[in-house]
Amino acid sequence: MTYEAMLSESVMIRWHGGDTVEAYAARPLDSAPRGGVVVLHHMPGFDAATKEITRRFAVFGYNAICPNLYWREAPGAAPDDAAATARALGGVPDDRLVGDVDGAMAWLNDLASSNGNVAAIGYCSGGRQAWLANSRLPLAGAIVCYGAFIVGETPAGTPPMPPLGHLAASQSGPVLGMWGNDDVYPTAAQVDEIEALLKDAGRPCEFHRYDGAGHAFFAVDRPSYRPEQAVDGWARIRTFLDKTLGG
């Protein structure tokens, strides 16, 4: 089922450490019980494309919220400026990220229409952050879209992000991975390594690899967009959420 009537809005919510941080939320207007999705934006920031993705989850029938992970560094700044400021200051600390996702989960679960199940999805650095959050919080699942630096080292000029492969055994919910075979962050070999870590740890996972696609193949406003691969990927994301959130 798709939902045409929804509420989407910017909200200010208390997150990690008691900070008040901007977020963007979208949810169907009916009162049926439903799961929630925390959307973790890519490194370019809290932009219009990410807000469109957040609304898409409401169309699918879920409550969704996307925290502005760069708000503390650059409140009210344009996405490109905020991203540049955050990168210059070393990026988003992992512990703060987990606290922000925890706050986002609490906001979703406080909604009258919440069924108590929440998953996280992230793109690029957000994919790494979805993996991290799924290892530290009681998420129903994590969707990792070309998550960079779960394994491997960050290149020069990128904020250092410690590898997180050792958290495979700590994943709370199943992991859905969406990857482009032409990507270099992560490489195809690194994707194989991540999948092997999960399987060796006995954690449920489902990985999909796409020929002819590189990094950011879901991004409709960028040259990297690959419609055929993205359409298939969205169908698999929706199936995964229906299964893990009780859609």
pLDDT tens digits, 12-35: 988 778 888 999 999 999 999 999
> pLDDT tens across 172-210, in order?
999 999 999 999 999 999 999 999 999 999 999 999 999
Whether the model clears a pTM of 0.75, i.e. scores above it, the answer is yes
Mean pLDDT of 50-62: 97
> Quick one: the chain helix, strand, coil %, rounded to 5?
35, 25, 40
**pLDDT per residue over 98-109, tens digit each?**
999 999 999 999
| Domain residue extents for the chain | 6-245
Query: For residues 35 and 193, what is the distance between their CA atoms, to the nearest angstrom?
Result: 31
Q: What is the pLDDT of residue 18?
A: 84
Element (H, E) at 49: helix 48-59
Other beta carbons less than 10 A from residue 27's beta carbon: 25
What does the radius of gyration of the chain's CA atoms come to, in whole angstroms? 17
Mean pLDDT of 202-219: 98
Q: What is the pLDDT averaged over residues 70-77? A: 92
6-245 CATH fold: Rossmann fold (3.40.50)
- What tens digit of pLDDT does each residue of 110-139 get? 999 999 999 999 999 999 999 999 999 999
Residues in the chain: 247
Backbone angles phi, psi at 232, to 5 degrees: -65, -40
Q: Is the pLDDT of residue 53 over 70?
A: yes
pLDDT of residue 247: 59
Cα 82 to Cα 45, 118, 226, distances in angstroms: 7, 27, 27
Query: What's the confidence (pLDDT) of residue 84?
Result: 92
**pLDDT of amino acid 17:** 80
